[in-house]
């Protein structure tokens, strides 16, 4: 096991070292050149894509750190500009004002120097150990060629010197087996020291995020109130007014034309039924009765049954989240299923709803054409804003040709159906 881990660390470290000195140095040179060209106007065009590439480069290192050694390096980037299509000076300035982007830029020279050296150490240890053993086995004859071959600080010109190199190689081999894994982990620890935000930066980012999600929640609530007011005004209210006018006419015609009065009463009865149906639909849109009475699991099943596509459901909720979380998850699921029906061109849908490790997790998968882009429409963007108020996240995987997988997670504890402790 130690041999495997030491060898794997050496191979990974060698690849990472080459990647560090080439990728980081290349990006650093390009960024410096683009900054020098800012007075000419060219730099403001080049900086945004270059800074985005630096962010991707740093994100890849964060991913490797967590995947290989569980070293988590938070990013804490600010959200993009209010106008995603913004280019030129405004976008470059927005990126440069982000502390996380500035940390990425400071990390580049560290990565191509100290990071490169630390990443190569496992490969150097293992390689020199193998070289020492090879010299002791007689390889010194092939490399000496009448002159001393230096192995570290030892000149090797004969078999005795080669045996000494072999002993040193054994020592290095022991050190490689013991420390290679730790040395490569030290590379990622160094990366975290430069890339990770400070405690104050984390708090500032959290305050900004809470302010943004609160603003989004207020906007969403205001939009919902305007929708309810519009639906009441254009729907049930108009029908009730018409019904009142019909009843006034009936009152006037009751003695003069009983037959006409009966017809108007029948029309008023139909309008009252339609108004009642619209009011029920409106109430269901605000908070569906099945959600309040049966919980999120049954409400999700009811949504699946009303969807005009075959939906396979897998619901595993041993309790209930708090009502606000249930409502957010329900309407997010409704939006996701509506998007599938309207845009995916799918034949089947799979719905998974569960709770694990303190996270409510909802996944909708379809076998449609794929190519979904959350930034292209307002539906999923609205879902993401709604989830932001609960620290929830939305992830979309939709390669061209499908399948499309939309996953949302909301941190929440479950309680029994009668109580809520989220």
Report the C-alpha gap between 65 and 348 in whole angstroms: 38
What pLDDT score was predicted for residue 274?
74
Q: Cα–chain-centroid distance for residue 403?
A: 18
Q: For residues 361 and 320, what is the distance between their CA atoms, to the nearest angstrom?
A: 13
CA angle 403, 409, 414 (to 5 degrees): 130
**How far is C-alpha 388 from the chain's CA centre?**
12
Instruction: Decide: 267 and 279 in contact? Cβ < 8 Å.
Output: no
Cβ–Cβ < 8 Å for 400, 373: no
Residue 208, sorted as left (phi over 0), alpha (psi -120 to 50) or beta, turns out to be alpha
Q: How far is residue 281 from each of residues 99, 107, 223, 288, 420, measured CA to CA in Å?
A: 47, 55, 18, 9, 27
Q: Say whether pLDDT at 116 is over 90.
A: yes
Residue 84 predicted with pLDDT over 50: no
Cross-strand partners of 315: 353
Angle at 382 between CA 314 and CA 402, to 5 degrees: 50
Task: State the DSSP H helix or E strand holding residue 249, giving kind and residue range, or none if neither.
Answer: helix 237-253
Q: Has domain 293-411 been given CATH number 1.10.10.10?
A: no
Higher pLDDT, 376 or 302: 302
Q: How many CB atoms lie within 10 A of CB 338?
A: 13
May I ask the CATH architecture of the domain 216-286?
Up-down Bundle (1.20)
- Beta-ladder partners of 154: 151
Q: pLDDT higher for 251 or 146? A: 251
pLDDT band at residue 70 under the 50/70/90 scheme:
confident
Give the 3-state secondary structure of residue 119: helix
- Could you tell me the residue ranges of all domains in the chain? 2-195, 216-286, 293-411
Contact call for residues 392 and 409 (beta carbons, < 8 A): yes
Query: 205-219, 253-267, 327-341: lowest mean pLDDT where?
Result: 205-219
Query: Tens digits of per-residue pLDDT, 162-176?
Result: 777 788 888 888 888
Per-residue confidence band for 26, with pLDDT thresholds at 50, 70 and 90: very high
Question: Each residue of 350-372: b (16+ CB within 10 Å) or e?
Answer: bbbbebeeeebbbbbbbbbbbeb
Q: How many CA atoms lie within 13 A of 119 on its CB side?
A: 24
**Do residues 50 and 31 make contact, with C-beta atoms less than 8 angstroms apart?**
yes
Contacts of 17 (CB under 8 A, 6+ apart): 116, 119, 120, 123
Alpha helices in 287-391 (DSSP H): 289-294, 296-306, 323-339, 379-388
pLDDT of residue 420: 41
First CA to last CA across the chain, in angstroms? 44
Tens digit of each residue's pLDDT (9 = 90 or more) over 296-325: 888 899 889 988 899 999 998 888 888 888
The closest of 216, 199, 190 to 79, measured between CA atoms, is 216
Least confident piece of the model among 150-154, 209-213, 326-330, 344-348: 209-213
Please state whether beta strands 404-411 and 393-397 pair in parallel, antiparallel, or not at all (unpaired).
Answer: antiparallel
Instruction: Please give the pLDDT value at position 6.
Output: 87
| DSSP H or E segment with residue 312 | strand 311-316
Residue 371 carries which DSSP code? -
- Quote the pLDDT of residue 83: 46
For residue 375, the model assigns a pLDDT of: 59
Q: Is the peptide bond before 403 cis (omega within 30 degrees of 0)?
A: yes
Residue whose C-alpha is closest to residue 330's, from 252, 246, 390: 390
Q: How far apart are CA 36 and CA 176, in angstroms?
A: 44
How far apart CA 62 and CA 66 sit, in angstroms, is: 6
pLDDT band, very low/low/confident/very high, at 27 (cuts 50, 70, 90): very high
Phi then psi dihedrals of residue 136, to 5 deg: -65, -30
**Selected residue with higher pLDDT from 135 and 362:** 362
Backbone phi and psi for residue 311, each to the nearest 5 degrees, phi listed first: -120, 120
- According to DSSP, the residues that pair with 326 across neighbouring strands are none
pLDDT for 160 equals 74
Predicted TM-score (pTM) of the model is 0.56
- What is the pLDDT, as a whole number, of residue 164? 78
Q: Are the beta carbons of 9 and 64 closer than 8 angstroms?
A: no
pLDDT in tens, 329-355: 888 888 888 888 888 888 899 999 999
Distance, in Å, from the CA atom of 330 to the CA atom of 353, rounded to the nearest integer, reads 11
Report residue 420: phi and psi, to 5°. -140, 130
Confidence bin at 422 (pLDDT 50/70/90): very low
Q: 180, 6 in Cβ contact below 8 A?
A: yes
Around 315, how many Cα atoms within 13 Å sit in the side-chain half-sphere?
A: 18
């Amino acid at each position: 096991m130690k041999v495997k881990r030491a060898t794997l660390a050496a191979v990974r470290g060698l690849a990472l070292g080459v990647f560090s000195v080439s990728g980081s140095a290349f990006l650093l040179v390009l960024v410096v050149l683009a900054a020098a060209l800012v007075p000419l106007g060219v730099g403001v065009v080049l900086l945004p894509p270059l800074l985005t590439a630096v962010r991707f480069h740093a994100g890849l290192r964060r991913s490797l750190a967590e995947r290989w050694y569980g070293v988590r390096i938070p990013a804490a980037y600010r959200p993009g500009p209010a106008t995603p299509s913004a280019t030129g000076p405004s976008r470059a300035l927005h990126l440069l004002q982000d502390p996380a982007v500035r940390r990425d830029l400071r990390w580049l020279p560290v990565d191509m120097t100290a990071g490169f050296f630390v990443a190569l150490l496992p490969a150097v240890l293992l390689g020199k150990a193998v070289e020492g053993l090879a010299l002791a086995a007689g390889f010194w004859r092939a490399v000496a060629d009448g002159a001393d071959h230096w192995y570290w600080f030892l000149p090797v010109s004969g078999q005795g010197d080669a045996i000494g190199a072999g002993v040193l190689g054994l020592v290095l081999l022991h050190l490689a087996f013991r420390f290679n894994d730790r040395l490569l982990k030290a590379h990622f620890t160094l990366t975290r020291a430069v890339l990770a935000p400070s405690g104050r930066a984390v708090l500032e980012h959290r305050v900004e995020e809470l302010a943004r999600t609160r603003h989004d929640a207020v906007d969403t609530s205001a939009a919902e109130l305007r929708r309810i007011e519009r639906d009441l005004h254009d729907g049930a209210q108009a029908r009730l007014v018409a019904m009142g006018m019909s009843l006034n006419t009936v009152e006037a015609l009751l003695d003069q034309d009983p037959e006409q009065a009966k017809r108007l009463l029948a029309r008023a009865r139909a309008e009252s039924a339609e108004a009642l149906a619209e009011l029920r639909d409106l109430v269901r849109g605000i908070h569906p009765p099945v959600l309040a009475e049966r919980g999120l699991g049954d409400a999700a099943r009811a949504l699946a049954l009303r969807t005009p596509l075959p939906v396979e459901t897998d619901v595993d909720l041993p309790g209930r989240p708090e009502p606000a979380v249930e409502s957010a998850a329900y309407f997010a699921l409704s939006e996701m299923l509506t998007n599938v029906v309207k845009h995916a061109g799918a034949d089947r849908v799979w719905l998974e709803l569960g709770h694990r490790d303190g996270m409510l997790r909802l996944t909708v998968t379809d076998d449609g054409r794929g190519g979904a882009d959350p930034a292209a429409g307002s539906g999923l963007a609205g879902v993401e804003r709604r989830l932001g108020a609960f620290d929830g996240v939305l992830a979309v995987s939709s390669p061209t040709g499908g399948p499309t997988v939309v996953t949302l997670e909301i941190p929440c504890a479950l309680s029994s159906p009668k109580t809520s402790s989220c």
